[in-house]
Structure 1
Amino acid sequence: MSPFRPTRAVLAAAVALALSAPLALTASPSYAATQPAAAAAADAAVPAASDGATQRALLKLADQYYDANARYEPLNATENGDSRFDDQLGLSIAPAQRARQFKLYRQFSQRLQQIPRERLNHTDRVSYDILAYELQGLLAMEPYPEHLLPITQMDSVPVTLANYAGGEGSQPLTTVKQYEAYLHRISQLPAWIDQAIANMRVGMRSGVTQPQALMVSALPQFQQLLSDSAESNIFYTPIKKMPASFSAADQQRLTAAYRKAVGERILPALKRLATFVEQDYLPACRTSTGLSALPNGAAWYQARIANATTTTLKPEEIHAIGLKEVARIQAQFAILGPQLGYDGPAAGLPVWVAAQPKFYPFKTEDEVQAVYHKLKDVLDAKLPQMFTLLPKAPLDLRLEPELSRATASDHYTPPAGDGSRPGVFWSVVNDPTKYGSTGMTTLFLHEGKPGHHFHIALNQELNLPKFRKFGGNNAFTEGWALYAETLGKEMGLFEDPAQYFGHLNDELLRATRLVVDTGMHAKGWTREQSIAYMHDTLGYDVTAKTETERYMAWPAQALGYKIGSLKIVALRERAAKALGSKFSLPAFHAVVLGDGTLPLALLEAKVDRWIASQQ
């Protein structure tokens, strides 16, 4: 990620491409089990029941794989609602620990290959194939020193732990045991910080650093974690919110322990980190933008693409798809613009909308939340007509915590696997007067219902091995959520031209991501080029900077949205054409969601089998 700015001629050519053959997405050729044709042939005669010993061997391996990952990244386990490791932080960025984990992955892969897949029924074969896919993807990342880049403005362990401190995040703080677990976890933060600093020093010497712009954005977060005393520090927050039901002895003991840990260990470590980033790391960071500027960066980016999209698409192909989609959506803007009172060129519609005060009607955070609550009620009435497979877990609506609000985007966090915590749609309202109303419907369809909540919450309720219940891939997860946005039109939610514009504009964002992510990480675009392209295409200003820096921090992560949604739309069209009057949308959705998260080629094979069974 040579300088490149798409011209109108390039966009015109992309329009022609949009009318050509459907997008072909393939999985890794070395993983034949996920190829639709290969899978169909291999599964022509699937036993009704798995051989007992073979099934037990697979499920044992799957559980050991999940537990190994949960111990390696305990914060991920906590996010999944697995509380067994809430008192652990883990040190996955330590080179020795990292090497041990990759050794484990190789052992798991070898053991899996010894399990006879042909003795498994369909459900167990899916688990086998997904596990094989995941292990291949993990092992493909071993050559790339991601541990030398332990912090970004998008995520870091200190900020994640700080966001838990109020008890409203993924780690609950309501019992004495939970208070002790959180204390034990944050007491391990100094060791993590020192390892992160050591890693970054290695990166400085070897030419593997973050882009300087990202650290400029991240530094204020670490500075915010500092305080003049333990009592005024964010990590002391649990003591200020301690339940009155705790005994006096527990209150005194926990207060003293938190004061000592925060004041004597955590606060000094946070100061070391902030000082290092400001004085040593930031000046040494690279001025380049994309991952390809790093040693072996092009291969590194391709490996990330494979994991994010579950395809073998090349950056150039994805870039072309992005340009094609941008052109298609802008063609729809030409139709929609006059309905909104706009008579300029189609590409200028987002800029015009962004400048209209009527689309920024809010004065308070509560007014923003009220719109989402009303939309939730409407969807609760409409969605049962499209879905027979519904999650049991409730969906809550909350505001993003102040600490991460400046750099966060509206997002979803899943419910706890044990039902103790609902799924949450977090709206990020930095300034209510600048919170646009046009994108709210499509945003809620994506992050809430029937997007992430229907997929991820349901995934946890299916009878699946833990690694499938709490794992997944970006192409399916984000592809489903983006596909879910399109259902708004069928439910009559986009009859307001402003809301339909919001839907198209958000879809345009996902298409633009394909262009700028590959542009920066494979084609030599600069950060400034990406910001300019996003501003010219989307009409964003500050958000263009935030979005660009997100793609810089998470190379390829944003590619899964559009690639995944294009595949699901194509599969729906294939099924509807093949089945005609027999096609059922609720049944199609049940097929897509019913086995949890799948690599795209496995999903395609599954839909093809369903079509054949219905015919």
Structure 2
Amino acid sequence: MKPSFTRGLIAAAVMIACAPAGAADIAVPAPATATAAPASEQGKRLNALADEYYDALARFNPVNASENGDNRFADQIGMSISPSVRAKQFAKYHDFQKRLHAISRDKLNQRDQTSYDILAWELAIALRLEPFPEHLLPLNQMDSMPVTLANYSSGQGAQPLTTVRDYKAYLNRITQLGPWIDQAIANMREGMKRGVVQPKAIMLSALPQYRKLVAAKAQDSIFYTPIKDMPAKFGNADKQVLTDGYRRAIETGLNPALQRLVTFIEKEYLPACRTSTGLSALPNGMDWYLARVAEQTTTDLKPEQIHQIGLKEVARIQGEYARIGPKMGYNGPAAGLPTWVLQQPKYKPFKTDKEVIDVYRKLDEKLKQKLPQLFSLRPKTPLDLRLEPELSRATASDHYTAPATDGTRPGVFWSVVNDPKEYGSTGMVTLFLHEGQPGHHFHIALMQELNLPNFRKFGGNNAFTEGWALYAETLGKEMGLFDKPEDYFGHLNDEMLRAVRLVVDTGMHAKGWTREQSIQYMRETLGYPESLAKSETERYMAWPGQALGYKIGSLKIQELRHRAESALGNKFSLPKFHEIVLGEGTLPLSLLAAKVDRWIAANK
């Protein structure tokens, strides 16, 4: 799915990719034992607190809530980057933590103990990030409120646009965007004073996005798109009110604010941006990065350990390249296989968008026959396959979006085809296993059907979410989907990207690597052209630590499967193992390991 990463403050459970749990270097105080209320009373207190916590998160960052299927606040964008709002949010976290520790964990049932542990961990990591001024870096080339809302204008993303009420909700959001932009500018000016600024390279990449959002007149604005696509069923009076409202909001508020933003970045911010690459170059930057690593991996692994894991995985996968290359007609050095594949016309067979999506639809039908053998627990919510709207194709990559819990939107696999003649076929199987099923869809859609507390239903952490999806890719081998060597190469190549991420992310943010070193390493290891190595490198610069969760999570799930297979022998059931992994939604890796160990002990 689209990588999620909180801007301004960790909104622990609201965004996929945020909350970690169980890291040894995060102190989670032991629960108080003074209270002696009955177990049911303790459970009620916990669940009431959890609901209050989640609502505070959703109100703090309602756009993230929308992304995760909660449309209750679809008319709000929140002001999480405001220093005063941010301070109030942290005060709430401190209060929630104090109240949580007044609940007796040992008097809770197993399900509530898990909720307790997740909540304790999320609050601990949120408060660990409190000292770091994330709000002073509100914009980058990967995510920002203006671009997110612009992409919503198609009505096919997380912002529904089918009713008059939906149109009014989006109008409210774009009306609030002008003040958000002015707060972002104020924050960046403060960052300039304190030496907390973005690398110049990523802001040079971001600037064209913001320039495109400025329109000569309201009708030319991307934010006016809903008016051009207004449903015929709307009454004339509603159409007029909405048309006037959108035009006025864009002309008098949003467009001038966007122009102020572009001018500020060009004239003031870019000259003040830094030439350094990693987060550790900022004040307290190394501690900031260590907190991000803990958050994104849900472990106490240190950057050097992760770096070495990455190098080891790179070497292992290159060994597989050496084995698969000759089967594809390649007999050069193993490291050169990806470059060779990119140069082969036979692996770019498409002429139209429809040909691309038809391959995915055929694969989806095949998986519907094969997955019941591997999964006893599957989501009831359907998966839809769609082409990314032209509006957002240039800045998007193939991804998954969560279903809406009110049933108005299924889970969706989005295929992004800018030029079908350049769309490579080798990675399609593994991509769909990751972004479609049994990857993100089996996890995210199922999570909404498990009757979990809202903070778990709509929340999660990056290591489990992306780790599960990367593990799901490996299942292609036992389903016979990698029988063609080019499809197995595609799987290996995606695995290699996740291994390389461990190396370059820790390299740039902890070991002093430059942007140019990362680009060169990616070109040599992945065979990427300069442009792709640049965009990938700059992604990791903008999102420190985010890319670490994939491989760390996947390796942990694979390790737990091997542990269970070894311990249980012929009693091991793969569908049951998958049920154990997915059956309580997203868990920090330490809690997942404990759950698998309990299952092993009960069945040994």
TM-score interval, normalised by the smaller of the two chains: over 0.9
The question of whether the paired residues in 1 share the 8 Å contact of 2:154 and 2:389 is answered with: no
Alignment match of 2:379 (pick from 384, 388, 391): 391
Distance in 1 separating the partners of 2:158 and 2:312: 39
Quote the offset at 1:543 in angstroms.
Answer: 1.8
Residues 455-604 of structure 1 correspond to what in structure 2 (within 5 A)? 455-541=443-529, 542-604=531-593
Residues 171-320 of structure 1 correspond to what in structure 2 (within 5 A)? 171-320=159-308
- Please state if 1:328 is matched with 2:316: yes
Distance in 1 separating the partners of 2:498 and 2:26: 29
In structure 2, what is the equivalent of residue 6 of structure 1? Answer: none
In structure 1, what is the equivalent of residue 354 of structure 2? Answer: 366
> In the alignment, residue 584 of structure 1 is paired with which amino acid?
S
Between 1:177-186 and 1:109-118, the stretch displaced more is: 177-186
Quote the offset at 1:33 in angstroms.
Answer: 9.5
Between 1:429-438 and 1:56-65, the stretch displaced more is: 429-438
- Please state if 1:170 is matched with 2:171: no
Distance in 2 separating the partners of 1:554 and 1:277: 20
Between 1:151-160 and 1:410-419, the stretch displaced more is: 410-419
Quote the offset at 1:125 in angstroms.
Answer: 0.3
Quote the offset at 1:234 in angstroms.
Answer: 1.0
Per the normalisation by structure 2, the TM-score is 0.94
The question of whether the paired residues in 1 share the 8 Å contact of 2:417 and 2:423 is answered with: yes
- Gap runs ≥5 in structure 2: 1-20, 32-36
- Gap runs ≥5 in structure 1: 1-24, 40-48
Distance in 2 separating the partners of 1:26 and 1:64: 22
The question of whether the paired residues in 2 share the 8 Å contact of 1:395 and 1:424 is answered with: yes
Residues 76-91 of structure 1 correspond to what in structure 2 (within 5 A)? 76-91=64-79
After superposition, what is the alpha-carbon deviation per residue over 1:355-392, rounded to whole angstroms, capped at 9, x for unaligned? 11111111222221111111111111110110011011
The question of whether the paired residues in 2 share the 8 Å contact of 1:301 and 1:555 is answered with: yes
> In the alignment, residue 101 of structure 2 is paired with which amino acid?
Q
The question of whether the paired residues in 1 share the 8 Å contact of 2:28 and 2:121 is answered with: no
In structure 2, what is the equivalent of residue 442 of structure 1? Answer: 430
1:380–1:54 CA distance, 2 compared to 1 (3 A): same
Quote the offset at 1:399 in angstroms.
Answer: 2.5
The question of whether the paired residues in 2 share the 8 Å contact of 1:475 and 1:560 is answered with: yes
Distance in 2 separating the partners of 1:161 and 1:443: 26
The question of whether the paired residues in 2 share the 8 Å contact of 1:50 and 1:121 is answered with: no
Distance in 1 separating the partners of 2:238 and 2:407: 27
Quote the offset at 1:29 in angstroms.
Answer: 4.5
1:50–1:356 CA distance, 2 compared to 1 (3 A): farther
Distance in 2 separating the partners of 1:475 and 1:421: 26
Quote the offset at 1:106 in angstroms.
Answer: 0.4
The question of whether the paired residues in 2 share the 8 Å contact of 1:50 and 1:120 is answered with: no
Quote the offset at 1:80 in angstroms.
Answer: 2.3
Give me the CA root mean square deviation.
Answer: 1.6
After superposition, what is the alpha-carbon deviation per residue over 1:135-157, rounded to whole angstroms, capped at 9, x for unaligned? 01111111111101101111100
Aligned length: 578
- Runs of 4+ aligned structure 1 residues displaced above 6 Å come to none
Distance in 1 separating the partners of 2:74 and 2:293: 31
Distance in 2 separating the partners of 1:342 and 1:79: 43
Distance in 2 separating the partners of 1:451 and 1:338: 30
Between 1:476-485 and 1:264-273, the stretch displaced more is: 264-273
> In the alignment, residue 530 of structure 1 is paired with which amino acid?
S
Alignment match of 1:74 (pick from 62, 81, 94): 62
Distance in 2 separating the partners of 1:555 and 1:375: 34
Q: Secondary structure of 2:375's match?
A: coil
Residues 82-161 of structure 1 correspond to what in structure 2 (within 5 A)? 82-161=70-149
Distance in 2 separating the partners of 1:392 and 1:553: 36
Quote the offset at 1:398 in angstroms.
Answer: 2.1
Quote the offset at 1:83 in angstroms.
Answer: 2.0
> In the alignment, residue 191 of structure 1 is paired with which amino acid?
P
Distance in 1 separating the partners of 2:63 and 2:479: 38
Distance in 1 separating the partners of 2:38 and 2:527: 55
Quote the offset at 1:32 in angstroms.
Answer: 6.9
- Please state if 1:341 is matched with 2:329: yes
After superposition, what is the alpha-carbon deviation per residue over 1:5-31, rounded to whole angstroms, capped at 9, x for unaligned? xxxxxxxxxxxxxxxxxxxx9732545
The question of whether the paired residues in 2 share the 8 Å contact of 1:78 and 1:171 is answered with: yes
> In the alignment, residue 465 of structure 1 is paired with which amino acid?
P
The question of whether the paired residues in 1 share the 8 Å contact of 2:199 and 2:276 is answered with: yes
Alignment match of 1:420 (pick from 381, 401, 408): 408
Identity in percent: 69
> In the alignment, residue 272 of structure 1 is paired with which amino acid?
R
Quote the offset at 1:537 in angstroms.
Answer: 0.2
